Chains A and B, each alone.
Chain A
Amino acid sequence: MRVYLRTFTPADLEQLSAWVDDPFLERMVGSELLQSYKHVWDKSPAFFEAMLTDPTQVVLVIEAYRGWTTPVGVVRLFNIHLLEGYCFLETIIADPRAMKRGFGVEAGKLISYYGVDVLGLRRIEAKVYEYNVLSMNSLRRNGFRQEGVLRQAGFDGERYWDLVIFGILKEEIEAQRKKDKVYLPLDPPEGNGREPS
């Protein structure tokens, strides 16, 4: 894994504040979380407490290993329906230098495991603007399947765009997990070290 997820802290609001003003993110993601922080909460610090105590979502910060000193984005499960066992996934890689490195794929994978293992979810959905090929590819790499299209459901300020719906079931998440390479402390070295004689 090249990224890890951690809980949000009040200090992250400064970063979030910069991200909500990024027109590229606004167009590519159209995040309700970012919009809410900017337009409903007017970037108030109280947003932190509200977000953290909202039982219908789990918001985690994406940190990258190896030389990254600031968070690269945010990933969240939202509209969590615990009884019915489904929710929606949103992954935002906000740092342009962190894009196209697979960080979003890994973050989406980690939070999906959290959803299944901790929250008992059995289905995760995601919506993507038709022009956001990067996000669609990330979802497909995590085993999500395209399930449909909401015709002209998105508006970017100039024109209407289709929204593509993706979904994944618990069994499919488990199948993806089996493909993960797990390094245990007792595993033999991966070629850099000396093989046991």
Chain B
Amino acid sequence: MSAPEAEVQEGVAGQLRLAGPLTAVTAPSFRSRVCEAVRDGQVHMVIDLRAVTALDAAGIAALLEARRVLEAQRRGTLVLRANAVVCRALKDTGTIAAFALWTGPGI
């Protein structure tokens, strides 16, 4: 693992950028950041995972939880920007279809 914890970088409003592994160790802080954002009134979120270096079952569970929390809001949406590592993990777990993925240029 290249980094001890996933670094949550501030982006534009409603956007989270993660770097490093999103795993059992780092997923709890990611969950709380999402909950915080929703409490602050965010209903549309883009989570940029292009700098994520590893994604395990706990990390994917956290992403599913983020989707659930956002979609529980009126008109809530979650979009993921993924790299090959993330796509592979989502495919392997059969969860890729559960997410809206953005693979084009910047949003």
Contact = CB atoms under 8 A, between A and B. Distances in A.
Interface string A97-138: 000000000000000000000111000000000000000000
B20 to A, nearest CB: 14
Given A118-B24, A120-B65, A80 B93 contact: yes
Contacts of A54: 56, 92
Contacts of A188: none
Given A83-B64, A83-B94, A83-B95, A53 B54 contact: yes
A57 interface: yes
B92 A56 contact: yes
B6 interface: no
A53 B64 contact: no
B22 to A, nearest CB: 10
Interface in A48-95: 52-58, 77, 80-83
B59 to A, nearest CB: 8
B57 A82 contact: yes
A77 B24 CA distance: 14
A7 B24 CA distance: 10
Nearest to A7: B24
A80 B58 CA distance: 11
B46 interface: no
B12 interface: no
Provide the main secondary structure of the chain A interface: loop
B81 to A, nearest CB: 18
B58 A56 contact: no
Interface string B53-80: 0111111110011000000000000000
A119 B59 CA distance: 9
Contacts of B57: 55-58, 77, 80, 82, 119
Residue of B61, B65, B93 ringed by the most chain A CB atoms within 10 A: B61
Contacts, number: 49
A82 B27 contact: no
Given A56-B92, A82-B95, 15 more contacts: A54-B92, A55-B55, A55-B56, A55-B59, A56-B57, A57-B57, A58-B56, A80-B57, A80-B93, A81-B93, A82-B61, A82-B94, A83-B98, A118-B58, A118-B61
B101 interface: no
Given A118-B27, A119-B57, A55 B64 contact: no
Interface string B31-68: 00000000000000000000000111111110011000
Given A81-B94, A83-B64, A83-B95, A53 B56 contact: yes
Contacts of A57: 57
Contact of B92 (A52, A55, A83, A118): A55
